[in-house]
Amino acid sequence: KPYDGEAITIARVCPEDVIGWSAALGRSKYTSSAYTENPCEMVRIDVTELRKFCQKNPQLGKLIMEKFAQGIAYRLKSTYDEVLALLFHGMELLPE
């Protein structure tokens, strides 16, 4: 949620998608929220344990990091689109 506005939807995730990856990348705070439309199960993994696992299992660690990267790239694109929509809300664009 932007500090000065309404909550915005950044992404819709599907089964097996990753959410809450900020801590795995070194962020001390998680600032987003997630809501489900249907009952679901989620797995919470301690970042220290995840890093240990990745060091001991480099091939699987690489796959995990690739999954994070895919999720990050998708969310950045979604965020960009949402921010543009907010900026241009109510504005009439001139034809080129």
Take residue 59 and report the two structure tokens written for it: 């091939």
Position 60 scores a pLDDT of 92
pTM: 0.57
**pLDDT digits (tens), the chain, 96 positions:** 556 667 767 677 777 777 777 766 667 666 667 778 888 888 888 888 888 998 999 999 898 888 888 877 877 776 677 667 766 665 555 555
What's residue 92's pLDDT?
A: 55
For residue 24, which of 64, 78, 80 has the smallest C-alpha distance? 64
Q: Name the residue among 19, 36, 25 with its Cα closest to residue 75.
A: 19
